[in-house]
Structure 1
Amino acid sequence: MTTLADRPNTALLVIDVQNGVVTGAHERDAVVANIGDLVDKARREQVPVVWVQHSDEDMALRSDSWQIVPELVPDAAEPLVHKLYGDSFEDTDLEDILSGLGIGHLVVVGAQTDVCVRSTLHGAIVRGYDATLVSDAHTTEDQSAWGAPAPEQVIAHTNLYWRYQTAPGRKGGTVETKDVAFG
């Protein structure tokens, strides 16, 4: 249903599953395992896997905190997008990569739910993509000390509102890891 012409393909977009992002994340191990299962499934089905890596003053390029978690190993042939902002499209080559692969639908996983995942989901819809959030394959850390809800509430709320997200000619939606169908 994407509004992007001649882009019938789907990609798995793995956002910021980096040491410095998910170390203290809610249900970190279960979420990383689900992402690993989806990466394996995408590869078996020859669905592109696109990796996103964030950097900033607290997560310097090539530092240990910047590295993707050891449980997940990008294939050398899989695109890797480096970003400085929450939205993975903002000031990156993500759009060029997806266009070159004929991608009009993104299956989104990663961290952090309330920042980069949400920003990228909204950025995708605004740019004409369909964007499906995998409800049990994204996470965030506890930021309740700064007034945010508990992580499980942030995740549940994001899943709730994204389940019904639509725009003219585009749709959001959620799905559990076990039910992801890339086709």
Structure 2
Amino acid sequence: MTTLDNRPQTALLVIDVQKGVVGDAHQRDEVVANIASLVDRARGAAVPVVWVQHHDDHLEQGSDDWQYVPELERDAAEPLVHKSHGDAFEDTDLEEVLAAAGVGHLVVAGAESDACIRSTIHGAFTRGYDVTLVEDAHTAGDKTAWGAPPVADVIAHTNLYWKYQSAPGRTAGAVPTSEVGFG
């Protein structure tokens, strides 16, 4: 299990499900519905839900595109981490938020699969966290014009390699929404 001392708790990490990030994303409605289901189940099990919200030169903090999608409502008591890098741990208070809650295992959902999701799951894993990627609760926009594979392939590949990620004292995995357990 986690290599972090005295961190037995699990948290749901919801990354960048913002209007300007997922507006035209692959299977947007299905992914957002799965994330909403995860949020409801985490809350019902008293598992912390931590929200991450990106901003940069193309996604101005406070703009309409910067807002979370209307289907997902953050409870005012739930932590919100603002970031401007792909890895949600970089130059943020995410580590402090998780440490205060005793979290050593992250269940990760959101956007974008080939950017902030990938960066954050790797960042968490190298920092000692156990990391479960929810395979049908992350998405991305189409980047084929810049030479990227189709989004469905990006998602499938991310899920495939995360299922087999390994390191001493930590676990990684990818499971569908229906198999995520918060008990």
What CA distance in whole angstroms lies between the structure 1 residues aligned with 2:182 and 2:4? 18
2:62 paired residue number: 62
AA aligned opposite 1:149: P
What CA distance in whole angstroms lies between the structure 2 residues aligned with 1:88 and 1:109? 12
How far residue 72 of structure 1 moved from its aligned partner, in angstroms, is: 0.1
What CA distance in whole angstroms lies between the structure 2 residues aligned with 1:158 and 1:174? 9
The SS at the match of 2:131 is strand
Normalising by the residue count of structure 1, what TM-score does the alignment of the two structures yield?
0.99
What CA distance in whole angstroms lies between the structure 1 residues aligned with 2:182 and 2:162? 18
What CA distance in whole angstroms lies between the structure 2 residues aligned with 1:73 and 1:58? 23
2:84 paired residue number: 84
Q: Which runs of 5+ in 1 are unaligned?
A: none
Across the aligned residues of Structure 1 and Structure 2, the Cα RMSD in angstroms comes to 0.4
How far residue 58 of structure 1 moved from its aligned partner, in angstroms, is: 1.0
Following TM superposition, where does structure 1 have runs of at least 4 consecutive aligned residues deviating by more than 4 angstroms?
Answer: none
1:165 paired residue number: 165
Asked whether 1:156 is paired with 2:156, we answer yes
Task: Please list the CA deviations of residues 39-84 of structure 1 after superposition, one character each: whole Å capped at 9, or x if unmatched.
Answer: 0000000000000000001111110000000000000000000000
AA aligned opposite 1:52: V
What CA distance in whole angstroms lies between the structure 2 residues aligned with 1:109 and 1:178? 13
Task: Please list the CA deviations of residues 94-148 of structure 1 after superposition, one character each: whole Å capped at 9, or x if unmatched.
Answer: 0000000000000000000000000000000000000000000000011000000
What CA distance in whole angstroms lies between the structure 1 residues aligned with 2:177 and 2:14? 13
Normalising by the residue count of structure 2, what TM-score does the alignment of the two structures yield?
0.99
AA aligned opposite 1:80: L
How many residues align structurally? Answer: 183
AA aligned opposite 1:35: I
Asked whether 1:111 is paired with 2:111, we answer yes
Q: Which runs of 5+ in 2 are unaligned?
A: none
The SS at the match of 2:29 is helix
